[in-house]
Copies of this chain bind each other. A is one copy, B any other.
Amino acid sequence: MDTKQHPGALYPVPLSVEGYFVLHQMLRLRWAEWRKLEQKTRKQIAEEARAYFAEAETPSHGQSAVFSMVGQKGDLMLIHFRESVDQLKQAELQINSLKLGEYLEPATSFLSVVELGLYESSVKLFRSLAEKGIEPHSEEWKHETEELLKRQREAMRSRLLPQMPDARYVCFYPMDRRRGEDKNWYMLPIEERQRQMDEHGKNGRRFAGVVKQIITAAVGLDDCEWGVDLFSDDASAFKKIVYEMRFDEVSAVYGLFGKFYVGVRVTADKLPELLEGKLPAKPSAS
């Protein structure tokens, strides 16, 4: 059982550390009904929403952000980082309770948790433990992996509990790893998966200054296995990074991609402007 698939093989499940729970909410604004309100009423409602999001966008044990979605998959995308599923549900209920909530309708959503996969250190540790004859799930094995996880959680704290990147644009998409009859990610030896992930990571890092990436895991939480958020001040960078990386073996062969959602960040103070039908200009750098 220790080497699930192949006797003698390294333990196949990579270790990972988790941070914020994350909820993406795609919402439609019922523009026709909204526009029928008197401007004064709209202003009051918009002000209440502004106040809510002004607080929610302030980082403090989590954070929320509003994006104006491009195209017809929805009008608003809300991204919430929180320390627990309860707090995400509370955010949902609070937004729903805003007077603006009456003019919002659900389009789709995605529940996940910030995850950092530890392929490299997992392979190192599993190899070292295997050489010492330590069985997976033995007390010593558990102790060693727990120690590793503890260290990594410390070291990666700021990436596990990230602040919302300050970029103008977001691109969100869910994805799966293929489990085809012939090409099956989960049946590859962990060393091969590590090699592919390593190459993939290197290619991604070449976009470091331009695109900020947050990976969340949704296995057991939502319909795809992972969610990817790309943040950039250059919308064409989304095309470049995704296209470039699609040629990586891990994406070319094993990547199954869901829908893509693109939005323009709207800070809380500019939300009333958006609700009057104007896209707020990009704030000048400060």
A residues whose Cβ falls under 8 Å from a Cβ of B: 1, 4-5, 12-13, 16, 18, 21, 23, 25-26, 31-32, 35, 68, 70-73, 84-86, 88-90, 92-94, 96-97, 101-102, 106-111, 113, 115, 137, 169, 171, 178-184, 186-187, 199, 202-203, 206, 217-223, 230, 235-236, 238-244, 246-249, 251-253, 255, 258-260, 262, 264, 277-279, 282
Contact = CB atoms under 8 A, between A and B. Distances in A.
A102 B182 contact: no
B184 A253 contact: yes
Given A113-B236, A282-B86, A242 B264 contact: no
Q: Which one of A68, A178, A199, A221 has the highest number of Cβ atoms from chain B below 10 Å of its Cβ?
A: A221
7 contacts: A1-B199, A4-B248, A16-B243, A137-B206, A220-B241, A221-B235, A221-B239
A262 B112 CA distance: 11
Q: Say how many copies of this protein the assembly contains.
A: 5
Nearest to A243: B219
Contact of A113 (B90, B239, B241, B244): B239
Contact of A221 (B16, B93, B222, B262): B262
Contacts of A187: 249, 252-253
Contact of A199 (B4, B72, B260): B4
A88 B6 CA distance: 45
Given A70-B85, A260-B222, A217 B243 contact: yes
Given A4-B248, A243-B13, A253-B187, A68 B97 contact: no
Q: Which one of A13, A222, A230, A239 has the highest number of Cβ atoms from chain B below 10 Å of its Cβ?
A: A239
Given A89-B279, A199-B4, A264-B86, A242 B223 contact: no
Chain A interface SS verdict (over half): mixed
Given A85-B262, A171-B220, A222-B260, A25 B72 contact: yes
A89 B265 CA distance: 12
Nearest to A137: B206
Given A72-B25, A90-B279, A236-B113, A181 B181 contact: yes
Contact of A109 (B71, B183, B243, B248): B71
B181 A183 contact: yes
Q: Which one of A97, A109, A220 has the highest number of Cβ atoms from chain B below 10 Å of its Cβ?
A: A220
Contacts of A86: 264, 279, 282
